[in-house]
Amino acid sequence: MSPSSSPTTIMITGATDGLGRALALRLAAPDTLLILHGRSAERATEVQQQVRAAGGAAEIRLADLADLRQVDRLADSVLADFDRLDVLVNNAGVGTGGPKDVRRESADGLELHFAVNYLAGYLLTERLLPRLLETPGASARIVNVASAGQQPIDFADPQITKEYSGTAAYCRSKLAQIISTFDLADRLAVDNRPVTVNALHPASYMATTMVRESGVEPWSTVEEGVEATLRLVTGAAGANSGRYYSGRRPARSDAQAYDANARLQLRALSDELIANAVGRAN
């Protein structure tokens, strides 16, 4: 099947629960192929069946984003099996549930929030970027689901080995997503490469498993978050690259996101960590 004749293809990480699941169901349509990422085959199959019942098409790809080798293999699978990728939604993440001051690590020995919320999406984006660049009509999009909860990264201790706080770890990982979003948008613009990339805080404390596990009473519905995210996935707002949105409105991120040196530091750190984990340069 040639790229021009294949359906619009959208990959959603963390598609088995919360915002990712609801977004997949809203995007289900006869002319759209969804690539549903999750960790649980059972839960992914449930979403796949719901998408198909709604008249859409969906394929499943499983990976634990806390293991960068699995993320690398996930990218290999997508590149091998799909000749088109229009949109990548980096939605999967871990919240602040559980003991808040107990530092957890990924399979690669990295602070868990940084690894899952940021670094896995960074690796997946870089690996899938060549396929996104092939999208017909120069209409490819990358949407990074971040948060209004942001704290500056301490590059002297990016893994927060001292004075650890789960809330700080979460907020730093989410700011890392936004910094990387701005950095990638700038790099793409310099080379005049037609992929738009944006980040957003979809809604505050949506009624999701992640929020419930954090012990916070939900403030917003998942549907509010879906509406905001859809504007970047399929709506006019998604045509503007290098922006951060809070809900449906453009917003100002933490000041560190606008620091050119911080962007370079984060990119260099990310590439080094990935090279150490997967055994090759990103």
Q: Which residues contact 31 (CB under 8 A, 6 or more apart)?
A: 7, 8
Grouping H, G, I as helix, E, B as strand and the rest as coil, residue 2 is coil
Residue with tokens 């993320």: 71
Burial level of 31, CB count in 10 A (0-12/13-18/19+)?
exposed
Task: Give me the helices (H) in the chain, please.
Answer: 18-27, 41-53, 68-81, 112-113, 120-133, 166-190, 209-213, 222-233, 260-278
Residue 118 is among the residues annotated as catalytic for this protein: no
- Number of alpha carbons in the 13 Å side-chain half-sphere of residue 275: 8
Active-site residue, from 122, 170, 244, 245: 170
Two structure tokens written together for 229? 């995210």
Q: Which residues contact 279 (CB under 8 A, 6 or more apart)?
A: none
Residues annotated as part of the active site: 170
